[in-house]
Amino acid sequence: FRSVFLLLGLCLFGAADALYKQWIPDTNYENKTNWDKGSVPCGNDIVQFSAQRKVSVYVETVHSVQEIQLPVDGEFILPSGGGFTVSNGGDPGCGAGVTAQFKDAESLQWFDPALWQAAESLDDLEKGRFLFSVHEESVPCQYDNVLFRAGSSFRVDTTSNQPSVPVQSVSVLGKKFSSSSEFTHYLGSHSGRVGASGCSDASGCDCGNSANHNRICGTVTCAPMSCKKPLYPIGHCCDVCSAIVTIQYSSGFILESYRNRLQHLFLGLPSYQSIQLGMSKVLKSQYFLGVIPRAAAAEIQIVLLDGESGAVAEALARDILKDVQAQGSNLGITGAEFQASSGATSGDGAGDNAGVVVGAVFGILIVVIGLPLLAVLFRRGVIKMPTMPTISIPSLSIHDHGFENPIFDKPTMMPEVPGIYD
């Protein structure tokens, strides 16, 4: 049988710096997590597949069952050596027998970050050297290679806020599809189409999943944070206790080379082995005076998680900035800064000074704009000066004697000296 996949609307792009992202779940008969009883049915069991659910099940070996209830619409993929036999309930190692229900696989969504694993290469993927990413980028980006494990079946809901789900390539049952025409022919539908050229920017490209941010975050449950100042990385769904390094770059910056540099210099150290590092290009919203929106600016975001309060992540962020100060000009880095969950920043209070400056600028604007506006309104009679009340001041008779001089005004105070007052 040909396997069925709900990968409708996939576009296949070409790309330079693409990651490999593998779908974790499957609909294999031998996978005990696919059964409601937590175990694969045996010879004394009754097997049920929901009559109204579409299923696509890979059956690798021969299984004995007492009874099997098939769905109305579905398929079983039977390689050589796969199949079923019906027993009379005499399997001594199976117990009394139960009714085992195959779980619903249609609820598994493409845009669920927990259902994907990411790596830089196929070798890293096979050896379990996975990459950490923010939630938007945990799902395949438009330039990533998507893999579904060979010898497995899958059902994936690719409902999207966009007409299609663009990726670089799709590997299914060991066969890699790098063009939309090949993949469309394989699916037997017209859902695929040829995409644009891939990412040719060495500094990286935007993931392209921001349009589905709410859909992605709808599958994520956020844990409460206990640190002083939880941070919210761009593209993530939850606040985290972490440190975030932001890098400004020039034309000489190479994203993958810099990722490898950080892994080689820092993540191999014993003090930083607990760190998860996610690095990508993001588009950060810009605002004039903190209020007026302007064009978004591209920058490199490095998210550092240590699984605790963020203290170790902050230490690494400081080390990264020291390395930038020493070697940044050779790496195409023009500037860098960080913020941490402790409340610390690379500016050592620059954030407070910036707030004072912004406040002063707003004050000046209010004076510059407000005074002419008040003058115009006054001239047009919109604003009138209030009539001052009349205050009656009683007539006072004031006679100033000046001040008393004890020597000359009161001569009797002085001893009598002959001839002094003549």
pLDDT in tens, 5-29: 444 445 555 444 578 999 999 999 9
Determine phi and psi for 290, rounding to 5 degrees: 75, 5
Whether the Cβ atoms of residue 50 and residue 206 lie closer than 8 Å to each other? no
Q: Give the Cα separation of 290 and 292 in Å (integer).
A: 6
Angle of helix 311-331 relative to helix 255-262, nearest 10 degrees? 130
Structure tokens at 280: 């990508």
Alpha-carbon dihedral sign for residues 349, 350, 353, 355: negative
Q: What is the pLDDT of residues 235-253, one digit of tens each?
A: 999 999 999 999 999 999 9
Whether the Cβ atoms of residue 203 and residue 281 lie closer than 8 Å to each other? yes
Alpha-carbon dihedral sign for residues 340, 344, 345, 346: negative
Q: What is the pLDDT of residues 85-112, one digit of tens each?
A: 988 767 888 888 899 999 988 789 999 9
User: Which pLDDT belongs to residue 175?
Assistant: 83
User: Which pLDDT belongs to residue 361?
Assistant: 47
Q: What is the pLDDT of residues 162-207, one digit of tens each?
A: 888 888 888 887 788 877 777 776 666 434 343 435 678 999 988 9
**What are residue 55's DSSP bridge partners?**
74
Average pLDDT score over residue span 146-157: 89
Q: Which of 39, 53, 70 is nearest to 155 (CA)?
A: 53
pLDDT band at 397; cut points 50, 70, 90: very low
Q: What is the pLDDT of residues 295-305, one digit of tens each?
A: 778 999 999 99
Percent of residues, the chain, with pLDDT higher than 90: 50
Q: Which of 9-13, 70-74, 118-122 has the lowest mean pLDDT?
A: 9-13
Is the pTM higher than 0.95?
no
Structure tokens at 196: 């644009």
Other beta carbons within 10 Å of 274 = 13
